[in-house]
Amino acid sequence: MTQTYHVKSFGCQMNVYDGERMAELMEAEGMTASDKADADLVILNTCHIRERAAEKVYSEIGRLRREDGSTPMIAVAGCVAQAEGTEIARRAPSVDVVVGPQAYHRLPELLREAKGGKKALDTGMPAASKFAALPKRGVQTRPTAFLTVQEGCDKFCTYCVVPYTRGAEISRPWGALIDEAKALIDGGAREITLLGQNVNAWEAVDDKGRAQGLDGLIRALAELPGLARIRYTTSHPGDMSESLIAAHGEVEALMPFLHLPVQSGSDRILKAMNRSHTAASYLKLLDRVRAVRPDIALSGDFIVGFPGETDRDFEDTLTLVRATRYAQAYSFKYSPRPGTPAAEMADQIPPEIMDERLQRLQAALNADQHAFNRASVGRRCDILLERKGRKARQLVGKSPWLQSVHVDVDGAAIGDLLTVDLVDAGPNSLAGEPAMRKAA
Ligand code: SAH
Ligand code: SF4
Ligand code: F3S
């Protein structure tokens, strides 16, 4: 009988990518995908970035126990696996395998060890060898695909676990990325999002021996037949090169969208966070991007309630938000992470103050997002159709600015680029009409 597996990924897009590659590994082992409720093997691909993420994993493990008391084989992968290591199998004896983000290519081997009756653990860190050892990309049929080009982080922001869970910055080699992009396009991808914890720090030597940065890779990918759209995330303001900015004005396939986390608008807090930018240098950077691509949609990440954050510091964040007019953004309450410097800092902010600040910040960001969407009404653009909508004949696609656009249409299919006029805007999505109709 064929064995079945189920992968559940938490956290960032890089975990989604890793989850897909783990699934491909299991397929290569002859297993088939199934629901969590009846899979022989459940892989929990975990995230450690905020708040009691580890606790969530333990309760998820608990819920895997079936009515007859049995459990599937359980593998814990991802950043909690890296951070907690053997502690997981000690606290949750039903866990069979613990594997870190840089070692999951060894899952088949570890599963065999575990079937032999002993717990199997690998939290080794050589990211480079992982990619070389993974099976070639399989057939995927979605129009949008993720491609991890860079892993790890050397920035050591004082609140963040990523440098500890993902290890040092590495860039995947040029040839491997071009090959993987081609395989994704062959499998139906029309849009590729390049991923990295610091994706704009990617650098490598191309097939002609020239040093290339992310913009060079983007320019090469833009030449691949069949690929219509390129995006990248997440960037660090300190790695935003002139040539990458220039690419936004020159490469048609590079979508007018930039996710550039700032975290705070207070220079005092930015310094305590060990961010390499100030509020002013960040805003200046955005001006340079807007100069080459005036319609660019900007996105950011924010943390409220970092240790020592005063009302004044928080007002500086609101000022930066007002100056930027984000198209969308993510905002979080500071969460002390074990082992990070900020967790030891004096003057931790009480939860009620964090709640209040987060509410105010999110109200401002939501209003900006709605305003950005409203300002798009009247534009004509292509949308890449990604899925069916709730109503008959309705399809949902993404605009160049990463907005969801609903459209009622006949004769178009998922994976098509459809030219639409944007006719209505809500806080989270827009309505479009096929542009042809107007002419008729
Ligand atoms: N590499 C990216 C983001 C990594 S984590 C960058 O440098 O921006 C994604 C987001 O989670 C961060 O941008 C930050 O806003 C948030 N984050 C990270 N650690 C956090 C913590 N300890 N508490 C709250 N939010 C955190
Ligand atoms: Fe974390 Fe900072 Fe690295 Fe981003 S740049 S992953 S926030 S340490
Ligand atoms: Fe979470 Fe690890 Fe991504 S901590 S955000 S899964 S890098």
> Per-residue pLDDT tens for 117-142?
888 899 988 766 799 889 888 777 79
**For the chain, what's the residue count?**
440
The burial of 417, by beta-carbon neighbours within 10 Å (0-12 exposed, 13-18 middle, 19 or more buried), is given as middle
Residue 182 Cα distances to 104, 126, 220, 221, angstroms: 23, 25, 12, 9
> Which one of the ligands is nearest to 169 CA?
2
> CA–CA separation, 360 vs 103, rounded Å?
41
pLDDT exceeds cutoff 90 at 52: no
pLDDT at 132: 87
Residue 416 Cα distances to 189, 226, 282, 307, angstroms: 11, 11, 36, 48
Ramachandran region, residue 348 (left: φ > 0; alpha: ψ -120 to 50; beta: rest)? beta
Task: Grade residue 440 by pLDDT with cuts at 50, 70 and 90.
Answer: very low
pLDDT at 193: 98
Using the mean position of ligand 1's atoms as its centre, give its distance from the Cα of residue 153 in Å.
12
Residue nearest to atom 4 of ligand 2 (CA): 197
List ligand 2's pocket residues with C-beta within 6 A: 153, 155-157, 160, 162-163, 197-198, 236
> Which one of the ligands is nearest to 57 CA?
3
Q: Of 305, 300, 279, which is closest to residue 358 (Cα–Cα)?
A: 305
Q: 3-state DSSP call for residue 7?
A: strand
> Which one of the ligands is nearest to 197 CA?
1
Residue nearest to atom 18 of ligand 1 (CA): 160
Domains and CATH numbers, the chain: 4-122 (3.40.50.12160), 137-376 (3.80.30.20), 380-434 (2.40.50.140)
**pLDDT tens across 300-345, in order?**
999 999 999 999 999 999 999 999 999 999 999 999 999 999 999 9
Judge if the beta carbon of residue 200 lies within 6 A of ligand 1.
no
Residue 86 Cα distances to 121, 123, 221, 340, 417, angstroms: 7, 9, 41, 20, 48
- DSSP character string of 232-278: EE---GGG--HHHHHHHHH-TTB-SEEE---B-S-HHHHHHTT-S--
Residue nearest to atom 5 of ligand 2 (CA): 155
pLDDT exceeds cutoff 90 at 165: yes
Enumerate residues 6+ apart whose C-beta is below 8 A from 353.
Answer: 305
> CA–CA separation, 227 vs 178, rounded Å?
12
Using the mean position of ligand 2's atoms as its centre, give its distance from the Cα of residue 236 in Å.
8
Judge if the beta carbon of residue 46 lies within 6 A of ligand 1.
no
Residue with tokens 């650098």: 203
**pLDDT tens across 215-274, in order?**
999 999 999 999 999 999 999 999 999 999 999 999 999 999 999 999 999 999 999 999
Judge if the beta carbon of residue 166 lies within 6 A of ligand 3.
yes
Residue nearest to atom 1 of ligand 2 (CA): 160
Judge if the beta carbon of residue 14 lies within 6 A of ligand 3.
yes
In ligand 2, which atom is closest to the CA atom of 160?
Answer: 1
Judge if the beta carbon of residue 79 lies within 6 A of ligand 3.
yes
> Which one of the ligands is nearest to 198 CA?
1
Q: Of 136, 134, 133, 104, which is closest to residue 121 (Cα–Cα)?
A: 104
> CA–CA separation, 204 vs 5, rounded Å?
36
Enumerate residues 6+ apart whose C-beta is below 8 A from 59.
Answer: none
> Which one of the ligands is nearest to 301 CA?
1
| Mean pLDDT along residues 278-298 | 98
In ligand 3, which atom is closest to the CA atom of 101?
Answer: 2
Using the mean position of ligand 3's atoms as its centre, give its distance from the Cα of residue 160 in Å.
10
Using the mean position of ligand 3's atoms as its centre, give its distance from the Cα of residue 49 in Å.
6
